[in-house]
Amino acid sequence: MELRKVTLYEVWMELKSEFETSFGSTKLRPAILVRVEERGGEEGWGEVVAGEGPWYSYETVETAWIVLEKYLVPELFRRGFSRAVDVGKALSRVRGHNMAKAGLEEALWDLEARLESRPLWVHIGGVRDRIESGVSVGIQPTVEDLIRVVSSFLDQGYRRVKIKIKPGWDVEPVRVVRRELGDIPLQVDANAAYTLRNLRTLRELDKFDLLMIEQPLGHEDLVGHAELSRLLKTPICLDESIRGLSDAIAAFKLGSAHIINVKPGRVGGIAASLEIHKFWAEVLGLPLWIGGMLETGVGRGHLVALATLPGVSYPNDISASDRYYEEDIVEPPWTLDRDGTIPAPKRPGIGVEVMVDKVERASRRRIELKPRNA
């Protein structure tokens, strides 16, 4: 494929409400939107999900910008590629920086699907025309706030609720949600905030019939998760620990988790997501779902496509645009049906149009990169 231009936009999107996790709190969410344009005039969009600081991963919006501008885009121009599925290999000379890689690679998948006039989800082998939507609820000031927020999401139809926990905000909020809201599909996400010394707390959480406990221990602690898996009856789900196929293989061999979530940003793109999906869901037949990173409508389109794959067996962290932002940057915005699903789009690529004027307005900087012969 012959590229004419790659444009990076650093956008800052104001969330409707503060999103707090064990590693910090966000009200203004940065992202880098990657726009690729080919010779014929078709374009594609991807999203870099790195945050403001190196908390969830070592990447930040600034490191990703530098890596894209100085290494990834020039490497792509230099090496070229024919199919989106090969882009990961073309970029593998750069070690790590999966979020930066994913934003660029996603844009090329969107472009390829648009050139072939089919929805991205069909292009990657999706099998369902709607995906199950769950909601991830940040740490709240009080348990009363939590009940109010969770109830309103349940009223909207979301199929399961995930609450963020940290030491000091764990057993009590879960107990109150179970007491007030009963037997709802409920899980928790610790974002690596515990160690095995907190076993007593984790054992308390084990009593609430949670669907899973997500990433309780450190991101490098596959052995600790294996130990914990044997001590609890609640399944462990890994997020931060799974940065690629080798991590998934190690987690399986060690018995660190029964469930994983897949986030294209964390694993380096769509092809890497497909590879992990194939191993975990198809070869092993184990449960998997698609995670989110508070994406704009662009990244959300890529998540929706992945969530249509066979064997995605739990509701995903893919909520409607209005759960995050007053106004999304795509048309139409992503919406939730009453039954708690989001329809997969019929239009080509990610299936939504990017409103470039809105992107420009949300941007703090922009750069256009062109191949030497352009």
Least separation, in Å, of the C-beta of 191 and ligand OSB?
A: 5
The strand ranges marked E within the chain are 3-21, 24-38, 43-48, 130-132, 135-137, 161-164, 186-189, 213-214, 236-238, 259-262, 288-290, 330-331, 341-343, 353-354, 363-369
Angle between helix 171-181 and 143-156 (nearest 10)? 50
Q: Which lies closer to ligand OSB via its Cβ, residue 292 or residue 340?
A: 292
Shortest-Cβ-distance residue relative to Mg ion: 239
Can you read off the two tokens belonging to residue 181? 């809201």
In the bound state with ligand OSB, the residue whose beta carbon lies nearer, of 19 and 280, is 19
Shortest Å, Cβ 193 to Mg ion: 11
Does residue 136 touch ligand OSB according to CB under 6 A? yes
CB of 126 closer than 8 Å to CB of 305: yes
CB of 298 to ligand OSB, least distance (A): 13
Sign of torsion over alpha carbons 115, 262, 24, 300: positive
Q: How far is it, in rounded angstroms, from Cα 116 to Cα 95?
A: 31
Instruction: Tell me the catalytic residues.
Output: 164, 263
Question: Closest CB to ligand OSB among 7 and 136?
Answer: 136
Could you tell me the smallest distance in angstroms from the CB atom of residue 236 to Mg ion? Answer: 12
Tell which one of 34, 64, 217, 293 touches ligand OSB (CB under 6 A): 293
Under the criterion CB under 6 A, does residue 319 sit at the interface with ligand OSB? Answer: yes
Task: Please tell me the distance from the alpha carbon of residue 305 to that of residue 300, in angstroms, as a whole number.
Answer: 9
Cis preceding-peptide flag for 332 (omega within 30 of 0): yes
**Cβ distance 323 to 292 under 8 Å?**
no
Q: Should residue 100 be labelled a site residue for ligand OSB when binding is judged by CB under 6 A?
A: no
Burial code (b: 16+ CB inside 10 Å, e: under 16) for 85-124 equals bebbebbeebeebbbbbbbbbbbbbbbbbbbeebbbbbbb
Q: Which stretch binds ligand OSB (CB under 6 A): 78-86, 273-281, 287-295, 355-363?
A: 287-295
Residues in contact with ligand OSB, counted by CB under 6 A, come to a total of 11
Least separation in angstroms between CB 116 and ligand OSB:
28
The smaller minimum CB distance to ligand OSB, of residues 308 and 319, is found at 319
- 239 contacts ligand OSB (rule: CB under 6 A): yes
- Residue 239 interacts with Mg ion (CB under 5 A)? yes
Nearby residues of 185 by Cβ (< 8 Å), 6 or more positions away: 134, 159, 160, 161, 211, 315
Amino acid (one-letter) located at 265:
G
Q: Does 140 bind ligand OSB (CB under 6 A)?
A: no
Which residue stretch of 35-43, 111-119, 222-230, 291-299 sits at the interface with ligand OSB (rule: CB under 6 A)? Answer: 291-299
205 binds, among Mg ion, ligand OSB, none (CB under 5 to 8 A by kind): none
List binders of ligand OSB among 179-198 (CB under 6 A). Answer: 189, 191
Q: Give residue 254's identity as a one-letter amino acid code.
A: L
Decide: is 189 part of the binding site for Mg ion (CB under 5 A).
yes
In 48-206, which ranges are continuous DSSP H helix?
61-67, 73-79, 87-90, 98-115, 120-123, 143-156, 171-181, 199-205
* Binding partner of residue 110 among ligand OSB, Mg ion, none, CB cut-off 5 to 8 Å per kind: none
Which of 87/186 has CB closer to ligand OSB? Answer: 186
Residue 241 makes contact with ligand OSB by CB under 6 A: no
How far is Cα 36 from Cα 38, in angstroms, rounded to an integer?
7
**Residue 57 partner contact from Mg ion, ligand OSB, none using kind-dependent CB cut-offs of 5 to 8 Å:** none
Contact 52, 32 (CB under 8 A): no
Give the whole-angstrom CA distance, residue 69 versus residue 167.
39
- Please identify, using beta-carbon distances, which residue of 173 and 291 lies nearer to ligand OSB: 291
Residue 34 or 50 with smaller CB distance to ligand OSB: 50
Minimal distance, residue 86 CB to ligand OSB, in Å: 29
Q: 164 phi and psi, to 5 degrees? A: -75, 135
Give me the residues that bind ligand OSB (CB under 6 A), please.
56, 136, 189, 191, 239, 291-294, 317, 319
Give me the residues that bind Mg ion (CB under 5 A), please.
189, 214, 239
